C-alpha cells in the first residue's frame, strides 16, 4: 500500500533490527501494555505475526511502515479482528515522531481495513496521558466514545491503573 510519503506492507522477519530500535525502548513503550519488548520477544512476536497472517482464518494483522525510497521500517500497526469489529494499535520510532507519518499510515489502513475485511467498526484505545496517540485517532476522524477513569490492566504481571480513552470510527 502506498500513501503520499509511506509504503505500508505486512511485517517480515527481516524487519527485526529496525523494530528492535524502537520496540525495545522504555520511553516509547511507556504507555503501552505489550511494549517495550526484549529482542527475544520481538523475534517471537514477528514470527508469530507472519505465521498468523499466513493462516486461513487470520484475525491478527501486523503492518510496517517505511518512508518512500528508504528500506528502514519506522513503525508498525496492528489490526485485531473480532467478528465485525477491529482494534487498531500503533508504535513508531521516536526519531520520526510528529511528522504526521502515523496519522497518514493509520488513515490508509482504516480505508484498507473497511474495504478488505467484513467489519463495520474500528476502535482504538490509549491512556489519557498519551496525547500523541489520541491526536492520531482524532486526525483519522475517530470519535471519542468512552472515558474510563482508573481503568485497571496488567503489564508484565503488575497491575496498572490509568484513565482509558476509547475512540471509534464506523464504516
Ligand atoms: C503515538 C505515535 C505512534 C504517534 O506517531 P507520530 O508519527 O508522531 O504521529 P503524527 O505525527 O501523525 O501525529 C501526532 C500528533 O500528536 C501531536 N502531539 C504529540 N505530542 C503532543 C503533546 N504532548 N501535546 C499536544 N500534541 C502532541 C503532534 O503534534 C501531532 O499532531 P499534529 O500533526 O496536528 O501536529 C508515537 O508517538 C509513538 O509511537 N508513541 C509511542 C507508542 C505509543 O504510545 N503507541 C500508542 C499506544 S495506545
For position 4, what pLDDT does the model report?
98
Take residue 152 and report the three cell numbers written for it. Answer: 485497571
Q: Which of 5, 98, 134, 138 to mutate to test the pocket of ligand 1 (most atoms within 8 A of CB)?
A: 98
The answer on pLDDT for 100 being more than 90 is yes
| Ligand 1 binding pocket includes 106 (Cβ within 6 Å) | no
In which band, very low, low, confident or very high, does the pLDDT at 58 lie, cut at 50, 70 and 90? confident
For position 103, what pLDDT does the model report?
98
Alpha-carbon distance of 151 to 107, in angstroms, equals 27
The answer on pLDDT for 57 being more than 90 is no
Q: Which of 89, 132, 139 to mutate to test the pocket of ligand 1 (most atoms within 8 A of CB)?
A: 132
Alpha-carbon distance of 73 to 19, in angstroms, equals 7
In which band, very low, low, confident or very high, does the pLDDT at 3 lie, cut at 50, 70 and 90? very high
Alpha-carbon distance of 126 to 89, in angstroms, equals 9
Take residue 157 and report the three cell numbers written for it. Answer: 504481571
Tell me what percent of the residues of the chain surpass a pLDDT of 90.
Answer: 96
Map out the domains of the chain as residue ranges: 6-120
User: Which class does domain 6-120 fall in?
Assistant: alpha beta
Alpha-carbon distance of 131 to 90, in angstroms, equals 14
Amino acid at each position: 500500500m502506498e500513501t503520499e510519503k509511506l509504503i505500508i506492507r505486512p511485517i517480515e522477519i527481516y524487519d527485526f533490527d529496525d523494530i528492535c530500535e524502537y520496540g525495545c525502548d522504555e520511553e516509547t513503550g511507556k504507555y503501552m501494555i505489550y511494549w517495550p519488548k526484549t529482542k527475544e520477544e520481538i523475534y517471537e512476536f514477528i514470527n508469530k505475526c507472519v505465521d498468523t497472517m499466513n493462516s486461513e482464518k487470520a484475525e491478527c494483522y501486523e503492518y510496517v511502515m517505511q518512508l518512500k525510497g528508504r528500506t528502514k521500517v519506522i513503525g508498525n500497526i496492528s489490526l485485531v479482528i473480532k467478528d465485525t469489529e477491529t482494534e487498531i494499535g500503533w508504535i513508531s520510532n521516536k526519531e520520526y515522531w510528529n511528522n504526521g507519518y502515523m496519522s497518514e499510515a493509520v488513515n490508509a489502513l482504516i480505508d484498507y481495513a473497511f474495504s478488505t475485511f467484513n467489519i463495520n467498526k474500528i476502535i482504538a484505545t490509549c491512556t489519557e496521558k498519551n496525547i500523541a496517540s489520541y491526536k492520531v485517532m482524532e486526525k483519522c476522524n475517530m470519535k471519542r466514545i468512552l472515558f474510563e477513569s482508573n481503568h485497571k490492566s496488567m503489564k508484565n504481571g503488575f497491575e496498572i491503573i490509568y484513565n482509558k480513552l476509547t475512540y471509534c470510527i464506523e464504516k
